Amino acid sequence: MILSRGPTFFYRAGAPRHPNAAAALGTAPPPAQLLGAFAPRNGSRLSHTLPKNRDLTYSVTAMQIIRQSKTYDVCIVGSGAGGGMAAKVLCDAGADVLMLEAGGPWDVEKDSKMSAWAYDSPRRGAATPDRPFGEFDGCIGGWDVTGEPYTQAPGERFDWFRARMVGGRTNHWGRISLRMGPDDFKGRSLDGVGDDWPIGYDDIKPYYDKLDRLVGIFGSNEGIRNEPDGVFLPPPKPRCYELMIKQAADTLGITCIPSRLSILTKPLNGRAACHYCGQCGRGCATHSNFSSPSVLLAPALKTGRLRIITNAMAREVTTDESGMATGVSYVNTKDRRDYAVRARIVVLAASACESARLLLNSKSGRFPDGLANSSGVVGKYLTDSTGLTVTGYIPKLANGVAHNEDGVGGMHLYMPWWLDNKKLDFPRGYHVELGGGRRGAPGYGIMGGIQRFNGVGGYGKSLKDDYRKYYGATVYFSGRGEMVPNEKTSCEIDPNVVDAYGIPVLRFHAGFGNHEILQAKHMQETFREIIHEMGGTPLSPMPSRASEYGLEPVGRIIHEVGTTRMGSNPQTSVVNANCQAHDVKNVFVADGGPFVSNAHKNCTWTILALAMRTSEYIAQQRNQGTL
């Protein structure tokens, strides 16, 4: 066996990088029928065969590829929500798992800036190229990653955020953990728009329940039919400004309830309860919020059956003469050399667009348009959540008395969709995320544009006095809505551009339709009505239709899904209801790609539930000898 011993970092099974990785975090035993699913099978045609050069479609010679003789049960590409869940479930079932991660290692206990003060940094917390959400943010990556371009169709725009670290975007996401409801799986049947999923809420509910118990989520049982309740921990109490928002919402007939975030308000499965520092986005050193490394990869590593290779940029899925996947080839981003690993099953969890890119780049004589793409659907039906924000100045909050606004690093209340779309001019709804007050210490850019408050700006003592007066006197409302898939919004391989590793990049086509534009208009009008009900003033004018009422560009909300959609018909979908490729039965997709629709509920909780369901199916099929 020839292995790289250069700059690549290896996470050795049974030898976690930090002490807590060895803690049994949520390690409930797998179902008895899954145990032994991955016991060695004599006579397996994959067990002793190395990749052939004809399996590889890029221009290299056999001597340039460092091949591993070992065949793993499963190779997972990506270590975020879907990849982490797949690793945990499959390792618990006895699989020997190899995980490829394009980014580097990151230890939340050592690397998190959870307790850093802005004034300790000369940048005062300002963004950096690889941390666009601020220099203390828990995610390394961004919309522009050095050496990894992507292109746009002329006149169109899609903003693609990529994380480059173990755990991916789970290291800094907002932890808003909403279940999709019964109507979200059957949209076309209800309003004739989009397509129905081949599964329904009842198919995924057991996995949502198990997910709640494994990860931990706070919330309240409200009995709202299409906003399903869960197995909730107690929610934190609302802050002052949130109580004011709720009072206005109640007056206007807008539902406002405790938020649902995957942050522990009580200890769970060996993890400590949140200590309310409010810095969840920086990475939680006490593992009190959900991230893949804290909750999924740690127990998977503890089994001794998971190996993680970092700085491994997947190039393609390799196949044999029969069209079955044999493994994955990748580039070590540190030494720029090509490697190939073998596996009986390949699980793609690199993110919706990265997994689509990998499939499209996996071309061969059998798969001239890319692997698992006989339908031509790979890369199609791409969606993101719609999103916009309106901020308002609330005079009642001015000259505020310093008080305790501690809590989780996010909202304690939110507004689920409360209206009937049949009575509106757009087909799908949105939810509202709240913010405001004086949570957290001031950092770079605080109170910028103060002329919007006092009308004149200022200088010297009067300016400082106004900062004190207006600090904490704002609230904001961010809408997150459902985008209906359209024929335009998609990704494909750009035939003329490669990245720094010689891998062809994606070219995006993107745009919102009239449904989303009218939805945005409703958001703007609603948020401004709430601000006025609170006695406040919006800090920006009402945008025009020409500006799509202030919608962020497609991709900017970082909820992209749908590029490898599931379906019952192989001619119109990429994977089946178990996220198994129609064309290649030992390839599965465990990220947001299989989504048929993109409900306004943030997608991570459903990615996790689907990944759990898919991974249990893999173990069951392996146990039955069909994989």
Residues 397 and 332 in one domain: no
pLDDT of residue 39: 63
Q: How far apart are CA 199 and CA 588, in angstroms?
A: 17
Average pLDDT (87-97) is 98
Q: How far apart are CA 39 and CA 306, in angstroms?
A: 15
Residue 165 φ then ψ, to 5°: -170, 160
Domain final residue pick, 550, 578, 600 = 550
Neighbours of 456 (CB within 10 A): 11
Structure confidence by residue, pLDDT tens digits, 409-424 = 999 999 999 999 999 9
Residue 82 lies in a domain: yes
Per-position DSSP letters for 298-361, written without gaps between them? HHHHHTT-EEEE-SEEEEEEEE-TTS-EEEEEEEETTT--EEEEEEEEEEE-S-HHHHHHHHHH
CA of 314: how far to CAs of 27, 103, 146, in Å? 29, 11, 17
pLDDT of residue 399: 94
Whether the CB-CB separation of 194 and 485 falls below 8 Å is answered with yes
Residue 499 lies in a domain: no
Q: How many domains does the chain have?
A: 2
pLDDT of residue 11: 36
**Among all chains, which residue has been given the structure tokens 């939680």?**
284
Domain final residue pick, 550, 571, 606 = 550
Average pLDDT (340-345) is 98
pLDDT over threshold 90, residue 154: yes
**Among all chains, which residue has been given the structure tokens 């004809």?**
54
Structure confidence by residue, pLDDT tens digits, 572-605 = 999 999 999 999 999 999 999 999 999 999 999 9
Contacts 24+ apart (CB under 8 A), 205-213: 207/609, 207/610, 207/612, 207/613, 208/179, 208/605, 208/609, 210/612, 211/605, 211/608, 211/609, 211/612, 213/28
Q: Pick the range with the lowest mean pLDDT from 11-20, 233-242, 457-466.
A: 11-20
How far is C-alpha 530 from the geometric centre of its chain's CA atoms?
30
Q: Name the more confident of 401 and 179.
A: 179
Residue 432 lies in a domain: yes
pLDDT over threshold 80, residue 29: no
Q: Which of 528, 617, 515, 532 is nearest to 566 (CA)?
A: 617
Q: pLDDT grade, residue 192 (50/70/90)?
A: very high
Residue 557 lies in a domain: no
Q: What does the DSSP 8-state code read for residue 245?
A: H
| Domain enclosing residue 416, as ranges | 224-283+386-481+513-550
Question: Taking each helix axis from N to C terminus, what angle separates 201-215 and 604-624, rounded to the nearest 10 degrees?
Answer: 100
Q: Which of 72, 544, 41 is nearest to 345 (CA)?
A: 72
Residues 365 and 423 in one domain: no
Residues 452 and 521 in one domain: yes
Residues 196 and 238 in one domain: no
pLDDT of residue 33: 54
pLDDT of residue 432: 98
Structure confidence by residue, pLDDT tens digits, 311-326 = 999 999 999 999 999 9
Residues 4 and 75 in one domain: yes
Q: pLDDT grade, residue 402 (50/70/90)?
A: confident
pLDDT of residue 63: 39
Residues 263 and 370 in one domain: no
Q: What are the tokens at 502?
A: 């010689």
pLDDT over threshold 60, residue 459: yes
Length of the chain: 627
Q: How far apart are CA 508 and CA 382, in angstroms?
A: 10
Residues 102 and 212 in one domain: yes
Whether the CB-CB separation of 579 and 588 falls below 8 Å is answered with yes
CATH number of the structural domain spanning residue 68:
3.50.50.60
pLDDT over threshold 80, residue 10: no
Domain final residue pick, 550, 575, 596 = 550
Residue 42 lies in a domain: no
Q: How far apart are CA 627 and CA 624, in angstroms?
A: 8
Residues 454 and 593 in one domain: no
Q: Which amino acid is at 514?
A: N
The DSSP bridge partners found for residue 519 are none
Residues 522 and 574 in one domain: no
Q: How far apart are CA 211 and CA 194, in angstroms?
A: 28
Q: How far apart are CA 494 and CA 511, in angstroms?
A: 18
Residue 228 lies in a domain: yes
Q: pLDDT grade, residue 440 (50/70/90)?
A: confident
Q: How far apart are CA 606 and CA 262, in angstroms?
A: 13
pLDDT over threshold 50, residue 23: no
Residue 498 lies in a domain: no
Residue 496 lies in a domain: no
pLDDT of residue 445: 87
Whether the CB-CB separation of 328 and 314 falls below 8 Å is answered with yes
Q: What does the DSSP 8-state code read for residue 93?
A: T
Per-position DSSP letters for 498-520, written without gaps between them? E-TTSPEEEEEE----HHHHHHH
Q: How far apart are CA 350 and CA 347, in angstroms?
A: 9
Residues 535 and 474 in one domain: yes
Q: What is the mean pLDDT of the chain?
A: 90
pLDDT over threshold 70, residue 74: yes
Residues 441 and 302 in one domain: no
pLDDT over threshold 80, residue 37: no
Q: For the whole model, what pTM was predicted? A: 0.91
> Radius of gyration over alpha carbons of the chain, in Å?
24
pLDDT of residue 36: 61
Structure confidence by residue, pLDDT tens digits, 100-137 = 999 999 999 999 998 899 988 999 999 999 999 999 99
Q: What are the tokens at 202?
A: 């009842």
Residues 296 and 352 in one domain: yes
Structure confidence by residue, pLDDT tens digits, 194-226 = 999 999 999 999 999 999 999 999 999 999 999
Show the DSSP H helices in 33-77 as ranges. Answer: none
Q: Pick the range with the lowest mean pLDDT from 87-91, 104-108, 185-189, 378-382.
A: 104-108
Q: Which of 345, 357, 375 is nearest to 566 (CA)?
A: 375
Q: Pick the range with the lowest mean pLDDT from 28-42, 270-284, 312-326, 512-526.
A: 28-42
Q: pLDDT grade, residue 566 (50/70/90)?
A: very high
Q: How far apart are CA 238 and CA 405, in angstroms?
A: 9
Structure confidence by residue, pLDDT tens digits, 489-543 = 999 999 999 999 999 999 999 999 999 999 999 999 999 999 999 999 999 999 9
pLDDT over threshold 60, residue 547: yes
